[in-house]
C-alpha cells in the first residue's frame, strides 16, 4: 500500500467561474472521478475519494508564496509564521535545517519506510546550484536531509523518473544530454508513477507547471497545456494503479485558477486523495497539517 504524493505548485480550489480555467479546460479524468471539474463545488468525501480545501495563508498577511509554503507542506510547520512573512521561490535559509531534519521524507525513512523522489535532476540543475543561478528547492533540501537518491537522466531513460513538466518536452532545451530521450505522454507519466509505487512506500513527484502557467510564463495556452498534462497524469495513474495504493494531490497556493491575474491568490489549495488512505485526510484544514497526516497514514500501514 503505497502513498503517491503529487505536489502541484500554484493551483487553488475556487468556484467554477468564468475566469477559472479549471472549470473550462477539458479534464476528462478529473471530470469522471469527481463528477465535475476540480473546483470548490466538488468538495466532499465518499468512499476512497476526498476533495478538501486547505488554507494556504496560515494566518500571515499577504499573498502565500512558494518558499515558505513548500516548507509548510514538506515539514508540517507554519513556515510563514516562523519566518515572519511569506517568502517566494526558495525556503528561507534559517528554515533549511528544520526542513532537512523534519521533512516527510526523513520522518518516513525513520519509520522504516522506503521513499522515492520521482523527479529527474539534470547536470544543468546541479551546475545552476553550483554557480548560484538557482538555490536549492525545498524538495531538494528535504531529500538531501533524508539521504534520498536524486534521480538522473539514466533513470529517466529507463522509465524510473519523471520530468517536472510531466512529459519531458522541455528537458532537451535545458540539458543537451536529454536530447536522445523522447518525451512521453502525460498518460504514460502517470502509469510510470503507478509502477514506481511497487518498490516504495512513499513516492513524491512535483510539478511547477500550473504556477508557471498562472504567471503567464507558458504563453496564452499555458493553462490549458498544464491542466491537460495534469489530467493525463491522473488518467495514467488511475489506469495502472494497484488497488491498495493511494494518490494525494495538493498545492502550496492559488494561481492558475484565476485567469484574470498573473499573481498568486489567497484561494485554498485543493487536497485530492484517491484510494484507501483518503479517509485519513478528512480532518485537514491547512497545508501545514499535510505532513503529519502523511506520516500518520504511513504508520498505520505498518504490517
Ligand atoms: Zn508555489
CB 230 within 8 A of CB 270: no
Q: How far is the CA of 93 from the centre of ligand 1 (A)?
A: 17
Would you place residue 293 in the very low, low, confident or very high pLDDT band (cuts 50, 70, 90)? very high
Could you write out the DSSP letters of every residue in the chain? --EEEEEETT-------TT-HHHHS--HHHHHHHSS-SSGGG-EEETTEEEEEEBSSTT-SS---HHHHHHHHHH-S-HHHHHTS---SS--GGGHHHHHHHSHHHHHHHTT--EEE-BB--HHHHHHHHTTSS---HHHHHHHHTTPPPB-HHHHHTTS-B-TTSS-TTHHHH-GGGTTS----HHHHHHHHHHHGGG-SEEEEEE-HHHHHHTTTT-TTHHHHHHHHHHHHHHHHHHH--TT-EEEEE-SSB-TT-TT-SS-B-PPEEEEEESTTGGGGTT--BGGGHHHHHHHHHHHT--
Region for 10 from its dihedrals, namely left if φ exceeds 0, alpha if ψ lies in -120 to 50, beta otherwise: left
Q: Measured in angstroms, how far is the CA atom of residue 55 from the centroid of ligand 1?
A: 14
Average pLDDT over residues 176-185: 92
- 34 CA distance to ligand 1 centroid (A)? 24
**Ligand 1 centre from 9 Cα, in Å?**
5
Q: What spacing in Å lies between the alpha carbon of 65 and ligand 1's midpoint?
A: 6
Q: Could you read off the pLDDT of 83-98 as tens digits, one per residue?
A: 999 999 999 999 999 9
Rounded to the nearest whole angstrom, what is the distance from the C-alpha of residue 217 to the centroid of ligand 1?
A: 14
pLDDT of 184? 97
State in Å: Cα 227 to ligand 1 middle. 16
- Cα of 252 vs centre of ligand 1, distance in Å, is 5
> With bands split at pLDDT 50, 70 and 90, how would you rate the model's confidence at 173?
confident
Q: What is the mean pLDDT of residues 153-170?
A: 96
Q: How far is the CA of 67 from the centre of ligand 1 (A)?
A: 7
On the question of pLDDT at 102 being above 80, the answer is yes
* Ligand 1 center to 99 CA (angstroms): 16
Averaged pLDDT, 15-35: 98
pLDDT value at residue 265: 97
Q: Give me the percent of the chain exceeding a pLDDT of 90.
A: 96
Ligand 1 centroid distance, CA of 211 (Å): 6
CB 5 within 8 A of CB 204: yes
Ligand 1 centroid to 69 CA: how many Å? 7
pLDDT at 149 over 80: yes
Domain over 3-270+289-300 is classified CATH 3.30.530.20:
no
Q: How large a percentage of the chain has pLDDT more than 70?
A: 99
Interval between CA 7 and ligand 1 midpoint (Å): 10
Is the CB of residue 207 less than 8 Å from the CB of residue 230?
Answer: yes
User: Is the per-residue pLDDT at 279 higher than 70?
Assistant: yes
The answer to whether residues 135 and 176 touch, using CB atoms and an 8 Å cutoff, is no
215: exposed, middle or buried (Cβ count in 10 Å: 0-12, 13-18, 19+): middle
Distance between CA 239 and CA 251 in Å, rounded? 23
Whether the Cβ atoms of residue 204 and residue 117 lie closer than 8 Å to each other: yes
Band the pLDDT of 123: cuts 50, 70, 90: very high
List the 49-54 sheet strands across, edge first. Answer: 44-46, 49-54, 269-274, 246-250, 3-8, 202-207, 115-117
pLDDT at 303 over 60: no
Q: How far, in Å, is the centroid of ligand 1 from the Cα of 242?
A: 30
Q: Which residues contact 173 (CB under 8 A, 6 or more apart)?
A: none
Please give the distance, rounded to the nearest whole angstrom, from the Cα atom of residue 126 to the centre of ligand 1.
21
d(Cα 64, Cα 57) in Å, to the nearest integer? 5
175 or 149: which carries more pLDDT confidence?
149
Check residue 137 and give its pLDDT: 97
What is the predicted pLDDT for the residue at 301? 80
Q: How confident is the model at residue 174 (pLDDT cuts 50, 70, 90)?
A: confident
pLDDT, average across residues 261-279 = 97
Q: What is the pLDDT of residue 302?
A: 66
pLDDT digits (tens, 9 = 90+) for 35-73: 999 999 999 999 999 999 999 999 999 999 999 999 999
Residue 303 Cα, ligand 1 centroid: separation in angstroms? 36
Our CA angle for 277, 5, 301, nearest 5°, is 35
CA–centroid distance, residue 80 to ligand 1 (Å)? 13
Q: Where do the structural domains in the chain lie, given as residue ranges?
A: 3-270+289-300
pLDDT in the model for residue 176: 87
CA of residue 10 to ligand 1 center, whole Å: 5
Segment 224-269, tens digit of pLDDT = 999 999 999 999 999 999 999 999 999 999 999 999 999 999 999 9
Mean pLDDT of 120-133: 95
What is the distance in A from the centroid of ligand 1 to the CA of 66? 4
What's the 210 CA to ligand 1 centre distance in angstroms? 9
Amino acid at each position: 500500500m503505497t502513498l503517491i504524493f503529487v505536489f502541484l505548485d500554484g493551483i487553488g480550489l475556487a468556484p467554477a467561474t468564468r475566469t477559472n480555467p479549471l472549470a473550462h479546460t477539458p479534464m476528462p479524468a478529473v471530470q469522471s472521478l469527481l463528477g465535475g471539474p476540480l473546483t470548490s463545488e466538488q468538495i466532499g468525501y465518499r468512499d476512497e475519494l476526498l476533495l478538501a480545501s486547505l488554507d494556504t495563508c496560515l494566518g500571515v498577511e499577504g499573498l502565500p508564496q512558494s518558499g515558505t509554503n513548500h516548507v509548510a507542506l514538506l515539514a508540517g510547520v507554519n513556515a510563514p509564521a516562523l519566518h515572519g512573512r511569506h517568502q517566494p521561490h526558495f525556503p528561507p535559509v534559517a528554515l533549511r535545517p528544520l526542513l532537512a531534519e523534519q521533512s516527510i521524507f526523513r520522518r518516513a525513512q525513520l519509520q522504516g519506510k522506503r521513499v522515492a523522489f520521482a523527479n529527474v535532476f539534470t547536470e544543468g540543475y546541479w551546475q545552476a546550484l553550483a554557480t548560484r543561478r538557482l538555490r536549492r528547492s525545498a524538495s531538494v533540501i528535504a531529500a538531501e536531509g533524508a539521504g534520498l537518491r536524486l534521480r538522473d537522466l539514466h533513470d529517466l531513460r529507463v522509465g524510473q523518473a519523471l520530468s517536472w513538466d510531466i512529459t519531458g518536452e522541455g528537458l532537451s532545451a535545458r540539458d543537451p544530454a536529454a536530447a536522445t530521450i523522447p518525451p512521453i505522454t502525460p498518460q504514460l507519466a502517470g502509469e510510470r508513477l503507478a509502477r514506481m509505487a511497487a518498490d516504495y512506500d512513499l513516492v513524491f513527484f512535483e510539478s511547477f507547471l500550473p504556477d508557471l502557467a498562472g504567471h503567464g510564463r507558458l504563453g496564452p495556452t499555458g493553462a490549458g497545456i498544464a491542466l491537460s498534462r495534469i489530467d493525463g497524469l491522473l488518467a495514467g495513474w488511475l489506469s495502472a494503479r494497484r488497488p491498495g495504493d493511494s494518490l494525494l494531490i495538493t498545492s502550496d497556493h492559488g494561481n492558475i485558477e484565476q485567469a484574470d491575474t498573473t499573481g498568486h491568490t489567497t484561494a485554498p489549495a485543493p487536497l485530492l486523495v484517491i484510494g484507501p488512505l483518503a479517509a485519513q485526510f478528512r480532518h485537514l484544514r491547512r497545508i501545514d497539517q499535510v505532513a503529519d497526516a502523511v506520516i500518520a497514514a504511513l504508520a498505520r500501514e505498518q504490517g
